[in-house]
Amino acid sequence: MKVLVINAGSSSIKYQFFTMATERVIAKGLVERIGEPQGRVVQEVDGQKREHRLPIANHSAAFQVIVRELMEGESPVIKSKDEIEAVGHRVVHGGEAFKASVRITEAVLKAIRARVPLAPLHNPPNLSGIEAAQALLPDVPHVAVFDTAFHQEMPPTAFMYALPYELYEQDRIRRYGFHGTSHAYVSRRAAAMLGRLVEHFRCITCHLGNGCSMAAVRDGHSVDTSMGLTPLEGLVMGTRSGDLDPAITFHLASVKGLDLGEINSILNRESGLLGLSGLSNDMRSVTEAAAGGHARAKLALDVFAYRIKKYIGSYLAVLGGAEAIVFTGGIGENNGAMRAAATTGLEELGVKIDAEKNAKARGEADVSAADSRVKILVVPTNEELVIARDTAEIAGK
Ligand code: AMP
């Protein structure tokens, strides 16, 4: 079966086209600057990238561009759109309605639409992507894979905020968690790498990219995670603050006279590595500046690592110990210094990194010292593969 995986954002669509027999990516690409006078399309086939520019009015036009690229690009990978046998869509917020991936029906679309207030930036473009794809490929199964689904097994002790209960009952205000496909994938890979069954395995997964979250995973289920109602809670991120005293928002309003939009922008777009360093949301730039003696860049790295370490400690408590700590995402996979900073000092808790293995790690790797009770692993995430697998499985039923 050939499966197209779609990740639709507000002004871009990322895609990967899989052949499921070998789970090989036949083509992958990005359509961006949707709605701007000049859009951009990049497609990669067999390591060869090809880019061109053209106006792309909306998601519907973008999806047509994707199918055309697959059929008529410099290296066409299909002869007709009928060769796309199923489409998998990343959907950010499934609320409490979805504990697993589902085939998209009218009722599913309605349920995703009903969760727009919980994810106003993400669910609307996800819906546009689905509608565009369904319009062009009406006869194939479309499957929704939710960022929130893996965390739906969390117990109420982990997902409830200590707010008036009516806010949960009436408005579904609770912790949901995100990056679920990534946490699910790397926790399973980690168990496999250690020759363990995921059903009897405790691990702490750290997805550190531009967005960052951690999860405590017991026996294949997420039992706690650092993101909450929205992807703002938890770790320090590229531009997001993560955890803070909620009274800071009242303070910003009453003392500085900021309105809700301005406060939202500070917390989501001007904080994190960018806010602390004053330089960049990109870990590479901040690391370079810190190495050159930039004090605020160094502070940003220290706060970033300290927050991860605090969550490792709390998740060791939640799980009653763990077999592994797993690092993934652009930073978790590539930045050995951050892995070391986040785990150094935890030796009494059975966590001991091997400096040499950590420095050399490429791809999947065990970077823990031989006598580390808790293994420290690096596992490149592959959310698209999870989406493709779920889609093929559901489409095949
Ligand atoms: P992601 O959102 O998973 O693509 O991750 C983006 C983050 O990963 C950015 O902060 C990048 O600076 C960081 N990153 C990506 N590649 C590397 C690398 N080779 N070394 C260090 N950081 C990296």
Does the residue 15 lie in any domain? yes
Q: Which residues pair with 14 in a beta bridge?
A: 7, 30
pLDDT of residue 120: 85
Does the residue 320 lie in any domain? yes
46, 82, 139, 147: the active-site residue: 147
Looking at the fold, whether 201 and 274 belong to one and the same domain comes out as yes
Q: Which residues of the chain have pLDDT under 70?
A: none
Looking at the fold, whether 139 and 240 belong to one and the same domain comes out as no
- How far is Cα 128 from Cα 11, in angstroms, rounded to an integer? 11
**Token pair in block for residue 8:** 């639709």
Atom of ligand 1 at shortest distance to CA of 381?
3
Q: Which residue's C-alpha comes closest to atom 19 of ligand 1?
A: 334
Looking at the fold, whether 141 and 199 belong to one and the same domain comes out as no
Looking at the fold, whether 202 and 269 belong to one and the same domain comes out as yes
pLDDT of residue 186: 98
pLDDT of residue 121: 84
pLDDT of residue 34: 94
Those residues whose C-beta lies under 8 Å from the C-beta of residue 328, and which sit 6 or more positions away, are 182, 186, 205, 206, 207, 208, 378, 379, 380, 381
Q: Which residue's C-alpha comes closest to atom 12 of ligand 1?
A: 283
Residue 245 annotated to the active site: no
* Three-class DSSP category at 315: helix
Looking at the fold, whether 44 and 131 belong to one and the same domain comes out as yes
Residues 327-380: pLDDT tens digits? Answer: 999 999 999 999 999 999 999 999 999 999 999 999 999 999 999 999 999 999
The DSSP bridge pattern shows strands 86-91 and 2-8 to be parallel
Domain boundary among 146, 181, 205: 146
Atom of ligand 1 at shortest distance to CA of 207?
3
Does the residue 114 lie in any domain? yes
pLDDT of residue 118: 86
What spacing in Å lies between the alpha carbon of 284 and ligand 1's midpoint?
A: 7
Looking at the fold, whether 99 and 221 belong to one and the same domain comes out as no
pLDDT of residue 397: 85
- How far is Cα 328 from Cα 180, in angstroms, rounded to an integer? 13
Looking at the fold, whether 39 and 95 belong to one and the same domain comes out as yes
Q: Which residue's C-alpha comes closest to atom 18 of ligand 1?
A: 334
**pTM reported for the whole predicted model:** 0.95
Looking at the fold, whether 86 and 205 belong to one and the same domain comes out as no
| Residue 6 phi, psi dihedral angles, 5° rounding | -120, 130
Q: Do 341 and 335 touch, CB atoms closer than 8 A? A: no
* Three-class DSSP category at 7: strand
Does the residue 106 lie in any domain? yes
Name the residue range of residue 63's domain: 2-146
Domain boundary among 146, 162, 181: 146
- How far is Cα 252 from Cα 226, in angstroms, rounded to an integer? 24
Looking at the fold, whether 82 and 226 belong to one and the same domain comes out as no
The CATH number assigned to the domain holding 372 equals: 3.30.420.40
- How far is Cα 215 from Cα 324, in angstroms, rounded to an integer? 12
Looking at the fold, whether 354 and 237 belong to one and the same domain comes out as yes
CA angle at 107 for the pair 58 and 5, rounded to the nearest 5°: 45
- Structure-token match 């085939």, residue found: 103
Looking at the fold, whether 288 and 211 belong to one and the same domain comes out as yes
Q: DSSP string of 351-385?
A: B-B-HHHHHH--SSEE-B-TT-SBEEEE----HHH
Domain boundary among 146, 179, 201: 146
Report the candidate in 179, 201, 178 with the shortest Cα–Cα distance to residue 188: 201
* Three-class DSSP category at 53: strand
Report the candidate in 170, 150, 103, 153 with the shortest Cα–Cα distance to residue 130: 103
- Structure-token match 């053209």, residue found: 54
Report the candidate in 343, 303, 307, 347 with the shortest Cα–Cα distance to residue 325: 343
Write out residues with Cβ below 6 Å of ligand 1: 209-210, 238, 282-284, 329-331, 334-335
Does the residue 181 lie in any domain? no
Does the residue 170 lie in any domain? no
pLDDT of residue 392: 98
Does the residue 159 lie in any domain? no
- How far is Cα 231 from Cα 237, in angstroms, rounded to an integer? 10
pLDDT of residue 150: 97
With the most atoms of ligand 1 within 8 angstroms of its CB, the residue from 331, 335, 378, 384 to mutate is: 331
**Token pair in block for residue 91:** 């959907």
Number of structural domains (the chain) is 2
- Structure-token match 């497609």, residue found: 43
Does the residue 176 lie in any domain? no
Q: Do 191 and 311 touch, CB atoms closer than 8 A? A: no
CA atoms within 13 A on the CB side of 247: 0
Looking at the fold, whether 141 and 257 belong to one and the same domain comes out as no
- Helix, strand, coil % (nearest 5) of the chain? 45, 20, 35
Q: Is 295 exposed, middle or buried (0-12, 13-18, 19+ CB in 10 A)?
A: exposed
Q: Do 109 and 98 touch, CB atoms closer than 8 A? A: no
